[in-house]
Amino acid sequence: MGVAPLGRILIAVDATEASLVAARYGIALARTYGAELYAVYVINENLLQELLRAKVFIEGEEVDLEVGLEEDGRRYLSHVEKLARAKGVNVTTELLRGVVHREVVDKATQIGAALIIIGEIEEPLSRKDSFYDEGEMILRRARCPVLIAKGESLVDDMYDSL
């Protein structure tokens, strides 16, 4: 038996509906092409550090935020697992910590991903913002193709038809 055309697919999950669209698209591709599916959620430690430097927290609140972010990550990954299981697709999930784009690109390289799927990138407020958007950074730094999942109703139709 030959290797699946897409081999391994990595979905970058965050706490947005757009990343769940990406997850449904990734599940559909994995099922259609027999690819191995991976999903990662990265706790953005840069964001935590920026909030600490800006003194947004009183002492101890940063721990609550970090715990909340970890719970969000686990909840979103669990939801992706349920979506995949409903379509007979196995998915390996992992909660990571660090700089989002670095962790996603490093994980893709580590597993030998043939494709990274991300959710739709929001319109930047300024040119400067586009250089700090994690999705944009994944596009720039990835060593494999990156697919931006758009068109929620089209993706849902594809996912539902499996």
pLDDT digits (tens, 9 = 90+) for 81-133: 999 999 999 999 999 999 999 999 999 999 999 999 999 988 755 555 555 68
Task: Give the chain's domain count.
Answer: 2
Residues 123 and 146 in one domain: yes
pLDDT score at 5: 77
% of residues, the chain, pLDDT over 90? 72
**Boundary (domain end) residue, out of 75, 98, 121:** 98
Residue 112 — left, alpha, or beta (φ > 0 → left; ψ -120 to 50 → alpha)?
Answer: left
Q: Is the per-residue pLDDT at 43 higher than 70?
A: yes
85 shares its domain with 46: yes
Instruction: Mark whether 122 and 76 lie in a shared domain.
Output: no
Average pLDDT over residues 70-74: 95
Backbone dihedral angles phi then psi of residue 136, each to the nearest 5 degrees: -60, -40
User: Which residue range forms the structural domain that includes residue 81?
Assistant: 40-98
Cross-strand partners of 147: 117
Residue 133, SS3 per DSSP: coil
Residue 86 and residue 69 share a domain: yes
**Residue 49 domain-assigned (yes or no):** yes
Query: Is the model's pLDDT at 135 over the cut of 80?
Result: yes
121 and 162, same structural domain? yes
